[in-house]
Amino acid sequence: MKKRYSRQQKKKLSEGKCFLCGETNYNVLHAHRIIEGGTYHPNNVLVLCANCHSKTHSGEVKFDRKYYSTTGQWVVHMFVDQKEYWISEPKGFSSESNCSER
């Protein structure tokens, strides 16, 4: 059974923005499960715009999972064009302040 998120739930999960690029148009935001086949639990869901959502399904962007860091924040481990990233805040991965490349 597929769970749908309301606009209010998406806003609460994502601060009203696409996790990767920061898009704010609600008409193009989707709830994407990090672990395919997993549940729609908030720890397994990211809100993405249609463009970033298609990048995940094409393999350009790959999410590993969310980890709870020692600093008390949820951190997403992901790969973009085969480069590894750890993102701690949902403000877009291009932001220097919240993205670290390994």
97 within domain boundaries: yes
Tally of domains within the chain:
1
Contact 46, 62 (CB under 8 A): no
Rounded to an integer, what distance in angstroms lies between the CA atom of residue 66 and that of residue 50?
Answer: 21
- Model pLDDT, residue 96: 34
Other C-beta atoms lying within 10 Å of the C-beta of residue 79: 14
**pLDDT of 39 above 60:** yes
The length of the chain in residues reads 102
2 within domain boundaries: no
- Model pLDDT, residue 28: 75
The predicted-structure confidence for 16-33, as pLDDT tens digits, reads as follows 788 888 888 867 777 778
59 within domain boundaries: yes
The predicted-structure confidence for 58-101, as pLDDT tens digits, reads as follows 999 999 888 888 888 888 899 998 899 988 755 433 333 334 44
**pLDDT of 50 above 80:** yes
Domain ranges, residue 11:
7-101
